[in-house]
Structure 1
């Protein structure tokens, strides 16, 4: 029996993987809504974050093709490494020190890379002209989380480099018209322009 967090991760990873599989070879260098990142860089970031989730456990990503050679195989290998942690109760429950304080490996995965998958799935879909509709459950859950972030932490999230060189968590909040969908409001909150097109 898997946990709710493991099931949520799998569902989101499945959705992200479908988008990675659907990228045409000529689209990998397309610009993405994340300034300075191509479509390939979005996948690279997600894979790198899978590695970050393993680090507190003394683990690292298994040998796999690079995202430059085979983005699909690279993502599948990274998700298998994280799923191995989620499927092992002793590893999933392992305590981790994180910037948000101590939590279990499972909670860290759930709150970081799992929560990242729908947002970066939107980036990848928008960069490569795929359906960019996010799961409504994920949007509502993320909106509730965003609205609960304390102002001082939110300020750090919006400060480039606050969590390390080159790390930018959120951009400045974008403007959306009154009556915008919750998905668009969420994207704007984290610094995306919902109207962005390549």
Structure 2
């Protein structure tokens, strides 16, 4: 079993994946040089700071179906790391309650448990957006190969609605158009292309 599987899709596995991915994302946020927060990211029209803002917003998005919200915290504009760590703590608190984590909720992709919604949305988001943030700010942007293998089947067969602007609501774009990548390119590059990212993007 690869590290990215973490015990399949049990609650314990979902929690372990979330924590590992949050640790990696948080470490990347912490390592951003102060002069690089305004640098462009691989996500069109987003700066490095915007990437963190989106990830924090996605923490709110997975809390909302169970009637929870983000706790008061510094804004991403004032302190990106503090904003992320507070949002992470709120989601971990929800996952720590088995009754709430196992509650069925309505999501744009259908019914799921609250924990499953976390796993499919913000947990997966942190893998890809850690690459976005690392690439935008000149850090090591290597994705754990086990994560690449785990995400590839889903990303490579993504339904077109996931790329349709506003399919999930006003102003929401989940993934951009596929970026063509050679078939013999490293799997990480093919994953990024399937997720609408140019593996060769440079911010400066």
The two structures have a TM-score, normalised by structure 2, of 0.92
Q: Alignment partner for residue 194 of structure 2, among 182, 186, 189?
A: 189
- Structure 2, unmatched stretches of 5+, are 1-10
Contact 2:60 2:87 in 1 (8 A): yes
Give distance in 2, aligned partners of 1:66 and 1:14: 20
1:17 aligns with: 26
Give distance in 2, aligned partners of 1:117 and 1:68: 19
Corresponding position: 1:130 with 2:139: yes
Corresponding position: 1:27 with 2:36: yes
- Structure 1, unmatched stretches of 5+, are none
Give distance in 2, aligned partners of 1:162 and 1:99: 9
Note the 1:139-178 alignment, pairs <5 A. Answer: 139-149=148-158, 154-178=159-183
Cα separation, partners in 2 of 1:88 and 1:127, compared to 1, 3 Å: same
Q: CA offsets, 1:61-84, max 9 Å, x none?
A: 000000000001000000000000
2:3 aligns with: none
Give distance in 2, aligned partners of 1:144 and 1:158: 16
Tell me the matched-pair count.
Answer: 194
Q: Alignment partner for residue 52 of structure 1, among 40, 52, 61?
A: 61
Give the alignment's Cα RMSD to 1 decimal: 1.3
Give distance in 2, aligned partners of 1:155 and 1:121: 24
Give distance in 1, aligned partners of 2:155 and 2:200: 21
Corresponding position: 1:107 with 2:116: yes
Deviation at 1:148, TM superposition (A): 4.4
Give distance in 1, aligned partners of 2:182 and 2:154: 22
Deviation at 1:147, TM superposition (A): 3.5
Q: Secondary structure at the match of 1:3?
A: helix
Give distance in 2, aligned partners of 1:161 and 1:4: 31
